[in-house]
Amino acid sequence: MTDTVVRTRGLTRVYGEGPTAVEALRGIDLDIAGGTFVVLLGPSGSGKTTLLNLIGGIDRPTAGEVRVDGVDVGAARGAELARYRRHGVGFVFQFFNLVPTLTALENVELIAALAGAGTPEALAALDDVGIADLADRFPGQLSGGQQQRVAIARALAKSAPLILGDEPTGALDRANGAAVLALLRAACDEAGRVVLVVSHDPDVARVADRVLHLVDGRIVDDVTNPAPLGAAEVVAALTAGEEVTA
């Protein structure tokens, strides 16, 4: 039995008040065990980003609870909430969000330092994603796929039990997207992390253990993938018949 890393109960988020209030989330009950890769699908405006923001501690629920690895994220305030965001969760975004005037290594060190880790951890994370040799390059000297590897290294360097992503392969071609998915799959399998990503990329559903469908602020479908692709087979399986560019 693997421990539950993410747990929500009746998680609700209403934006605004009165007649113009928007019920973005209408009572989400969700349990995600360690080592699980979850993809979140749903139409525009269904509440996907809102759910990630609440789980990531960058927005607060109107009602209900959200716990991550024992931390009551929805109720945490001040120093406790800051500690959670630094140590408890890593983020990977569609457009990488690297600091352009810092090298790859410095970008990873910056976030590692917030979590109390140093240069060795940052270098190890760059090595894990296969670009230790590019540590001294600036983001502008890296391809999109390489920049997203730096962003993943940044999330990995803090050893958080949870990685959240909003369309992490959205700006990448298929080969680079597959490489990123292989890294995220490995983060689940090797370190027992939870990876929770919003994505409309059909390749992501082939790698995920669970596919959640959100409609109008509710989970309407929760499907287990009986045979998710393993980290070692992702790139070959997803790019079969296509030319792979580094």
Contacting residues toward ligand ATP, per CB under 6 A: 15-16, 22, 24, 42, 44-50
Write down the least CB distance from residue 197 to Mg ion, Å. Answer: 12
Q: Does residue number 49 form part of the binding site for Mg ion (CB under 5 A)? A: yes
Per-residue binder mask for Mg ion (CB under 5 A), 134-153, x = binder: --------------------
How far apart CA 91 and CA 53 sit, in angstroms, is: 10
Contact of residue 116 among Mg ion, ligand ATP, none (CB under 5-8 Å per partner type): none
Contact of residue 22 among Mg ion, ligand ATP, none (CB under 5-8 Å per partner type): ligand ATP
Task: Answer whether 138's CB lies under 8 Å from 101's CB.
Answer: yes
Percentages helix, strand, coil for the chain (3-state, rounded to 5) are 40, 25, 35
How far apart CA 219 and CA 29 sit, in angstroms, is: 8
Contact of residue 103 among Mg ion, ligand ATP, none (CB under 5-8 Å per partner type): none
The closest alpha carbon to 98, from 87, 85, 110, 115, belongs to 110
- Please count the residues of the chain: 246
Mark residue 72 as left, alpha or beta (left: phi above 0; alpha: psi -120 to 50; beta: remaining). beta
# binding residues, Mg ion (CB under 5 A): 2
Write down the least CB distance from residue 217 to ligand ATP, Å. Answer: 7
Residues that bind Mg ion in the complex, under the rule CB under 5 A = 48-49
